[in-house]
Structure 1
Amino acid sequence: MSTNTASAPGSGFTTDSSASNVRWIVCGLLFLATTINYMDRNVFGYVEPLLHDVAFMGWNHAADKFHQPVFDDNFGTVIMFFQIAYGVGFIVAGRVIDKLGTKVGYALAILIWGLASMSHSVVTSVAGFCVARIFLGLGESGNFPAALKAVSEWFPTRERAKAVGLFNSGSNASALVAPPLVAFVSAKWGWQAAFIATGSMGMAWLVLWTLFPYNRLRGASTQTQANLAADFAEAAESGGAIPLSALLQRPGLYAFALGKALTDGVWWFYLFYLPQFLNRNYNLTLKQAYPYLLTVYVISSVGSIAGGSLSGSLMANGRSVNAGRKIAMLVMALCVMPVIFVPHMSTIFATNAWPATLLIALAAAAHQGWSANLFSTPGDMFPSTAVSTVVGVGGAAGAVGGAAFTWIVKRNLSLHQLLVFSMAAGAYVVALAVFQLLVPHIGVSRKAA
């Protein structure tokens, strides 16, 4: 993208063309893709109660639901295969999308994950689920590198976290659509139909994305991106690509990656284990749990948008990019901490799931607000030609951290819930402290520093 254009005062763009409202159409497409992305990965968690009757999963009907070591191990193993593949895929996907561009890279990613999602419907063993989850993870790993690259190409700094918060709220919207959809199609045609239903939505999105003239309508670079491109000019290869070796020299890459590694597993814990938590602690079926799941994800959507808007509001009122991002992240980190009290709720309110649900909802909303700002930092620190690569490295770290946290969860959630929720409560404060140590000043170029 050209960076030799005149700056439009106050716009945040080097030209006014990029500031058109078309960018919000792009944000809408990113929202739909993210919604489908989370629907496809979460179906496995939603059909978990139905898998009790699938012989190869190992549920023991003679034992109580808190003592199902074979089933729990199989269920957790399938999830871990997804997370590992998701992490490995990030490393490749980020680089591929930077090479192919947002339009082609995104299309390839959703084609792979949509087909992989539908393939779950034909498995006949735990190993089959694992293979399907591997390909699902490889495809889904392209969503965020592509989406965040798109945001860096279309949105100025002050709007970036808001845009991320909006499209990332698709992860919550999926929870509004998926449970009733899964419940309906599973009741009518079996659990296999749930995977076909969500996977086919990805194919529909692919048609929309193919028809949208992304590259023709995109304008010039944002002013922030123009400055970052100049900062990385010496390292850039012909064609504008920045070698991975140059990116690995920047502490911002490690700050983002560690932020993801320390907190992604907490979000995945809510996604994959919340239906199980409500079932085992409060005897709620998926249908009965829907109002509680709905509440968590509606509140999460509010947190995603509010948290993303907070940093932009702070910048609009005179705060620097550094202060705006980090104050917002600190507020979100503190809002997560009451989740430590969740394990006590089933004792205090043995038949009422709402207190525990609302604490989890607050934590999930804070996570989404945190993520909206953390996801924006690659665009604050790297040019758009490298954003997907940086997000890919961070996503890989997040997947490794998520797999590690899942390993802890599957061995401790039934009998040691306080340990799990204590780790979830403290992860964000630790992550922010690490980020601050590595990047004391976001937005300060290395040359200036």
Structure 2
Amino acid sequence: MSQDQSPDAVINTAAGKASKYRWVICIMLLVAMVINYTHRQTFALLKDTVGAEQGWTEQTYADIVFWFQCAYAIGYITFGGIIDRFGARTGYTIAFVIWTISHTLTGFVGNATQFMMARFALGIGESGAFPASLKAIAEWFPQKERALAVGIFNAGSNLGAIIAPFAIPLITLPFVNMAFGEYHLSMTGLGWGWRACFFVTGLLSMVWVVAWWIMYRSPREHPKVNAAELAIIESDPADTGAKIPWLKIIAVKETWLFAIAKFLIDPIWWVWLFWLPGMLKKNYGLDLSSFGLPIIAIYLMSDVGSVAGGWLSGKLIKSGVSVNWSRKITLLVFALLVMPVFFLNGVKDLWTAVLIIGIATAAHQAFSANVYTLPTDTVPRKAVASVIGFGGMCGAIGGMLMSKNVGFILETTGSYKTIFWMAGSAYLIALIVIHLISPKLERTTKLDGVA
């Protein structure tokens, strides 16, 4: 980029003749996230099927989720450093292979302890997905496109959660009867049992890692990126300096604004992901055969939110609003949209509940997409994966605490009311924390030249 050209001028000049390969990378990241969440959601959907066979209580299930999140916390911080050191290509490959093997081997487990071990290994591998994805986004996209790119690949978490409630019953059961109000979708399933779900979804997903290894390179090394697209990708000011030590990274407030936000909002997403099927069974009488369409409807709405969050903040930036206010206005809008879950416990109609939950999960994804862009806005690119890894660890610790609480609450009260109140308030609290820590959301200079 020449000295007298602004990033906007470079992008506007190059956009008409630029290749679009960065969006191919974004789609690759989306597909990986679909696989990630299909694997993750498989366990939640089979909770009552496996739990009844193996004699689980609510606390047993919570303990299995706890150990998955414990591994996720450990792996998140570990993979952040690995990805910063070796890059997104190698780091994501390692993570993907670990989680896919662990998921596939879950089909052999015979009791809750073995489930905890398998889910622990899965958590180690899956923890690398977001740090690697965000590293790739920081490497391939200029600042003004990052929120949209994050929203697109993050939509894969919803697509995976949509595919799983459709596929898992069909693999497990000989007959499936999904209901949408008065409409019933009846299908003949394979009837292979719950173990086959892990074998089938695990083995099929290995195609992705081969494609990733073949297709991914840094933008400057990639033959499909022309000079015009490279100008767009590199239109932001270049980072300086070598890899930044951990102690330096956790000493800056920009790391903590991301980490605290993740600690507050990630546990809410875990609750929806791991306890939504159980809640639909308890409150509305659904089961593995019938709760597929409500769950699909919820995560379809979530997909819209994931992209909308990135679109809104990107639109505000392009219209001349500062990055600071673009991010925070977007966060406020979607924090407010979560709040109807306060009243969810009193809702008796299934599809009204689906609407409220769907809006809340969509708002979470929009909020989360913008939270994930904060490190790319505020720290050097060479520190992005490490900051995201640390924040993800904090989010997983929050999820561990939430899992224990949810298990205890359901075991002792049998009600989701307290859980819904926590879900409704977490996002506004997170936004307040972000603003108090960084009122102007400025890029830190404290890590420039640090080695």
**TM-score higher than 0.5 here?**
yes
Once the two structures are TM-superposed, the CA of residue 48 in structure 1 deviates from its matched residue by: 1.3
- Asked if the contact 1:322–1:443 (Cα under 8 Å) also holds between the matched residues in 2, the reply is yes
Once the two structures are TM-superposed, the CA of residue 189 in structure 1 deviates from its matched residue by: 1.3
CA–CA distance in 2 between the matches of 1:142 and 1:13? Answer: 31
**1:384 partner amino acid:** R
1:183 to 2:182 alignment: no
**1:83 partner amino acid:** Q
Q: Note closer, same or farther for the CA distance 1:122–1:7 as it changes in structure 2 (3 Å cut).
A: farther
Aligned to 1:65: none
Aligned to 1:208: 211
CA deviation profile, 1:63-119 (whole Å, cap 9, x unmatched): xxxxxxxx2111111111000100111110000010011111111110000000011
CA–CA distance in 1 between the matches of 2:334 and 2:34? Answer: 22
CA deviation profile, 1:105-162 (whole Å, cap 9, x unmatched): 1111100000000111111121111111111000001000000011111111121111
1:269 to 2:266 alignment: no
Q: Which moved more, 1:352-361 or 1:194-203?
A: 194-203
CA–CA distance in 2 between the matches of 1:51 and 1:246? Answer: 45
**1:411 partner amino acid:** F
- 2:34 alignment partner, SS class: helix
CA–CA distance in 2 between the matches of 1:247 and 1:133? Answer: 30
Q: Note closer, same or farther for the CA distance 1:9–1:164 as it changes in structure 2 (3 Å cut).
A: closer
1:425 to 2:414 alignment: no
CA–CA distance in 2 between the matches of 1:54 and 1:267? Answer: 27
Q: Note closer, same or farther for the CA distance 1:86–1:9 as it changes in structure 2 (3 Å cut).
A: closer
Aligned to 1:199: 202
Aligned to 2:382: 385
Q: Which moved more, 1:15-24 or 1:94-103?
A: 15-24
- 1:224 alignment partner, SS class: coil
CA–CA distance in 1 between the matches of 2:3 and 2:18? Answer: 14
Aligned to 1:45: 44
**1:138 partner amino acid:** I
Once the two structures are TM-superposed, the CA of residue 16 in structure 1 deviates from its matched residue by: 5.2
CA–CA distance in 2 between the matches of 1:15 and 1:407? Answer: 54
Once the two structures are TM-superposed, the CA of residue 270 in structure 1 deviates from its matched residue by: 0.4
Alignment RMSD: 2.2
1:402 to 2:404 alignment: no
**1:410 partner amino acid:** G
CA deviation profile, 1:264-322 (whole Å, cap 9, x unmatched): 00001001111100011111112211111011001000011011110000111110110
CA deviation profile, 1:185-219 (whole Å, cap 9, x unmatched): 11221101111122223311101101104232264
CA deviation profile, 1:419-442 (whole Å, cap 9, x unmatched): 111111000111111111111112
Once the two structures are TM-superposed, the CA of residue 222 in structure 1 deviates from its matched residue by: 3.1
Aligned to 2:290: 288
TM-score by length of 1: 0.89
Aligned to 1:368: 365
Q: Note closer, same or farther for the CA distance 1:141–1:19 as it changes in structure 2 (3 Å cut).
A: farther
- Asked if the contact 2:7–2:235 (Cα under 8 Å) also holds between the matched residues in 1, the reply is no
Picking from 72, 89, 94, the partner of 2:75 is 89
CA–CA distance in 2 between the matches of 1:210 and 1:120? Answer: 25
Q: How does 1:230-269 map to 2 (within 5 A)?
A: 233=240, 236=241, 240-269=242-271
CA–CA distance in 1 between the matches of 2:9 and 2:92? Answer: 28
Aligned to 1:170: 156
**1:322 partner amino acid:** N
- Asked if the contact 1:83–1:137 (Cα under 8 Å) also holds between the matched residues in 2, the reply is yes
Count of residues in Structure 1 that have an aligned counterpart in Structure 2: 418
Aligned to 1:80: 66
Aligned to 2:356: 359
CA–CA distance in 2 between the matches of 1:213 and 1:112? Answer: 19
Q: Which moved more, 1:329-338 or 1:413-422?
A: 413-422
Identity %: 39
1:147 to 2:133 alignment: yes
- 1:161 alignment partner, SS class: helix
- Asked if the contact 1:84–1:403 (Cα under 8 Å) also holds between the matched residues in 2, the reply is yes
Q: Note closer, same or farther for the CA distance 1:443–1:291 as it changes in structure 2 (3 Å cut).
A: same
- 1:214 alignment partner, SS class: coil
Aligned to 2:8: 10
TM-score by length of 2: 0.88
Q: Note closer, same or farther for the CA distance 1:367–1:144 as it changes in structure 2 (3 Å cut).
A: same
CA deviation profile, 1:233-256 (whole Å, cap 9, x unmatched): 4xx4xxx21111221221010000
- Asked if the contact 1:7–1:14 (Cα under 8 Å) also holds between the matched residues in 2, the reply is no
- Asked if the contact 2:377–2:443 (Cα under 8 Å) also holds between the matched residues in 1, the reply is no
CA–CA distance in 1 between the matches of 2:247 and 2:445? Answer: 16
CA–CA distance in 1 between the matches of 2:7 and 2:88? Answer: 28
1:113 to 2:125 alignment: no
Once the two structures are TM-superposed, the CA of residue 19 in structure 1 deviates from its matched residue by: 6.0
- Asked if the contact 1:114–1:202 (Cα under 8 Å) also holds between the matched residues in 2, the reply is yes
Q: Note closer, same or farther for the CA distance 1:51–1:442 as it changes in structure 2 (3 Å cut).
A: same
- Ranges in structure 1 where 5+ consecutive residues have no aligned partner: 60-70
- 1:249 alignment partner, SS class: coil
- Ranges in structure 2 where 5+ consecutive residues have no aligned partner: 174-190, 447-451
- Asked if the contact 1:13–1:222 (Cα under 8 Å) also holds between the matched residues in 2, the reply is no
- Asked if the contact 2:63–2:403 (Cα under 8 Å) also holds between the matched residues in 1, the reply is no
Q: Note closer, same or farther for the CA distance 1:418–1:19 as it changes in structure 2 (3 Å cut).
A: farther
CA–CA distance in 1 between the matches of 2:243 and 2:329? Answer: 32
- 1:288 alignment partner, SS class: coil
**1:251 partner amino acid:** K
